[in-house]
Structure 1
Amino acid sequence: MVVLNGFEVVKEALIINSEHSADRPRFPIYEKLGYVGDTKGIILAHYGSSWKEQRRFTLTTLRNFGMGKKSLEERVTEEAQCLCSEFKSQKDQFDPNLLINNAISNLICSFAFGDQLEYSNENVQRLLLLFNSALKAKSGLLGQILNEIPFLTHIPWLIDPVMQPQYELIAFLKKIILEHQKTWDPNYTRDFIDAYLVEMEKMKEDGSSSFNETNLLMTTYDLFSAGSETTSTTLRWALMFMLLYPDVQSKVQEEIDRVIGRDRKPTMEDVLQMPYTNAVIHEVQRCGDIVPLSMPHMTYRDMEIKGFLIPKGTTIITNLSSVLKDHEVWERPLQFYPKHFLDEKGKFVKREAFMPFSAGKRACLGEQIARMELFLFFTTFLQQLTFEIPNNQPRPREDPIYALTLSPQPYNIRVVPRV
């Protein structure tokens, strides 16, 4: 295993040598779920024709369902408005975690499963509970040990506690897919699962096709896991930083009032006129640093980085924390400092070392949707509400909880509607 640190090194590996570093190593505990051979969905699939087919299809389907289009933007805005209403309905202080998770999960559910679920719906609560349990189990100490010492996965009393939440989540998704198959109409595509069934039907005579029921299950699993946890965690960081830095919150609200006002709903066109808000969102992502080690890569062929040979088949850890907090790149790497993304005139500046979505061939395929969700939710929040630390609560801690992702310590908020 080779760990890559610092912006220049990671850039050379992921961008300049993007294909050389595009493979994935084995994940023994995931193989228990069916991530084997060419049936690995997208996130864990080896680099090759199956992965390319699945990624290309998923990106095309995302676009067809509105990625980068007005229709999806309107759905995100509607969900953000509903979440603000939920915040306002809380009588006193509350933990926003579950409400944010529900809102983001609603969006991915509507795309993947064609179902927008109410906050109180038992199915969405069950799905969220299973997903959170599965994430904790596979990213905990035991899950990591089992990945590194694969023969231990054959010992039932060791593997069962890790795998049971995963099995239940997979069973839940299988049930949804089965219901789709029963009601499927090839002339009417409701969601991602329907689109995948159409593709399976088209390719059923092609023996080399990677479109099959296992890949449908695994790709749906990938979409839900990648599309919910990361965005909801980033929004929780955003609210926490607004509690900790009320002067930043006030400046964002001033810009919202000036560009959007209090009555009109935010749109993605507004981002071009809101450099400070855009900088704050980017700084939340940089400081929150929610996927610090990204997913492990593996060299697809021999690769040379800064004069060091990394042979084909070597596992690579890209330390994104070392990029997002590189002392050679950022003025105040360990502080929340929105000016990292502003020039002397207050205009927004793109930074090459901004890699929260990773980079290269394996960059997050939902990056465009995530950017849209973060901007529309964040601006909707601060257009309608001011967030405060409740009187009887301590100042939230900035040190994170680590479990594959870095998430904020639990905190309560108090909301004050802006009139």
Structure 2
Amino acid sequence: MKISEKYGPVFTVHLGFQQTVVLTGYEAVKEALLNTADVFADRPAIPIFYHIQHGNGVFFSSQELWKTTRRFTMATMRDLGMGKRLSEERILEELHFLVDLIRSFKGGPFRLRFLNTAPTNITFAILFGRRFDYKDPTFVTLLRLIDEVMILLGSPFLHLFNFYPFLGFLFKPHKMILKKVEEVCVILNKYIKESKKNINGNNLTSYIDALVFKQQEEKDKTNTSFYDANILASALDLLMAGTETTSTTLQWAILLMMKYPEIQKKVHAEIVRVLGPGRLPTFEDRKNMPFTNAVIHEVQRFITLLPHVPRYTSADTYFKGYFIPKGTTVIPLLTSVLLDKTQWETPDEFNPNHFLDASGNFVKKKAFLPFSTGCACWIQ
């Protein structure tokens, strides 16, 4: 972002031997991701993720495989109740278990990561077709592995591996990640195998069931996208990305409420006013809780959870006066959009008023792009 102050919203950096174009600010990122989306739709082969997924899955595949897998995933999420009454009921059910967990500490301190159990279980219910008891060995193991992988993904040595993959023998984090991901895949393969054995097309209760059934439907096709490696990679994507983003956002929300008690009090007052004592929230309550809604959006804007999602140009293009050849890695810097001084009054401050008008009504902002405009939006 500091470089962009000198060179403008479009510039080139070298990440190892790779020449990468960076786009900063709302206008440049919007033009690339919305107005010329087809040109910037492909995904580059990031070494660590290529070693994990081998070009498969929802997030790190490209071209027709990415389009087909993403389209199928979006449709399956809707069929399984995402954004519908079924999803709301599942969340409210899980909330009871989370409240019981918090009460079990009897007012004593506990790690914030314990709060991850609830949103993770929601994703697991979609992935596997059922929720897990918080003490279930499989649930505990998956939580631990996801946490350990995410920590390793932030290692400076992992970035070096991505820049200079041929020097991988010198670095350790990527080897540890691959080992832990393999442990996750053993668990996923077990559920995929069970689904293949018991699949019932009239009763698909999970994302894995839907993948397996689609594979069986297309088993005679020579160019199907639903082969074993892509099924495993897609399930792995939902498991990792579908849990970590929500869980981390929740932890940040708690920390920010602690840091800004006056905002916490206003949120609490609105919850009490709208819900009253003892009633759990519903999706419809959002309309009557503009301040709470604004706070949730501001949390996601302020923490810039996903700094960028690299893209890959699918064709030669001219962009804002610059020629960008086909096959160029492009980084639309989402952080620069969420902190754009032309779009937010106080971009570096936690300020829920960014999403409120003068009358206190909630206002949607076009520059609110916490997960880009592509494959990860459904996670919200």
Deviation at 1:209, TM superposition (A): 1.0
Stretches of structure 1 lacking an aligned partner (at least 5 in a row)? 371-419
Structure 2 partner of 1:280: 295
Partner secondary structure for residue 323 of structure 2? strand
- TM-score, normalised to structure 1, is 0.82
Q: Which amino acid aligns with 1:177?
A: I
Q: Quote the Cα distance in structure 1 between the aligned partners of 2:312 and 2:349.
A: 32
Letter matched to residue 203 of structure 1: E
Counterpart in the other structure of 2:48:
29
Report what 2:345 is aligned to.
Answer: 331
Which of 139, 152, 167 does residue 182 from structure 2 map onto?
A: 167
- 1:27 deviates by 2.0
How many Å separate the matches in 2 of 1:365 and 1:356? 8
| 2:376 is aligned with 1:364 | yes
Structure 2 residue ranges without an equivalent (≥5): 1-19
Conserved in 2, the CA contact under 8 Å of 1:21 and 1:300?
yes
For 2:177 and 2:157, the matched residues in 1 are separated by 7
The offset of 1:344, in angstroms, is 0.7
Q: How does 1:158-197 map to 2 (within 5 A)?
A: 160-197=175-212
Residue 33 of structure 1, CA deviation: 2.8
Correspondence for 1:216 among 219, 228, 231:
231
Q: Which amino acid aligns with 2:44?
A: P
Q: Does 1:142 align with 2:157?
A: yes
Structure-2 residue corresponding to 1:384 = none
The corresponding residue for 2:87 is 72
Aligned-partner Cα distance in 1 for 2:171–2:262: 54
Distance 1:310 1:232 in 2: 37
TM-score w.r.t. length of structure 2: 0.90
Q: Distance in 2 between matches of 1:309 and 1:234?
A: 37
Stretch of structure 1 that moved more, 305-314 or 157-166? 157-166
The match for 1:61 is 76
Match for residue 313 of structure 1 among 318, 324, 327: 327
Alignment of 1:346-357 (within 5 A): 346-357=360-371
Compare relative contact order (CA 8 Å, sep 6+) and give the higher one, 1 or 2: 1
Question: Quick check: 1:265 aligned with 2:280?
Answer: yes
Kindly state the Cα deviation for residue 181 of structure 1 after the two structures are TM-superposed. 2.3
Displacement of 1:365:
4.1
Which range moves more in the overlay, 197-206 or 81-90?
A: 81-90
4+ residue runs over 3 A deviation: 153-159
- Note if contact 1:20-1:299 (Cα within 8 Å) is conserved in structure 2: yes
Cα pair 1:259 1:270 within 8 Å, conserved: yes
Equivalent pairs counted in the alignment come to 361
Once the 2 structures are TM-superposed, how far is the Cα of residue 96 of structure 1 from its aligned partner? 4.1
- Mapped to 2, the partners of 1:157 and 1:8 lie a distance apart of 39
1:188-267 correspondence runs (5 A): 188-267=203-282
| Identical residues among aligned pairs (%) | 39
One-letter amino acid matched to 1:11: K
The amino acid of 1:23's aligned partner reads D
Deviates more, 1:154-163 or 1:234-243: 154-163
Aligned partner of 2:43: which letter? R
Q: How far apart are the structure 1 equivalents of 2:323 and 2:100?
A: 55
The whole-number CA distance in structure 1 between the counterparts of 2:172 and 2:363 is 53
- 1:143 is displaced (CA, Å) by 2.0
Per-residue deviation, 1:158: 7.6
Partner residue, 2:13: none
The superposition leaves residues 71-114 of structure 1 with CA deviations (integer Å, 9 ceiling, x where unpaired) of: 11110112123212222221344244332221111111111111
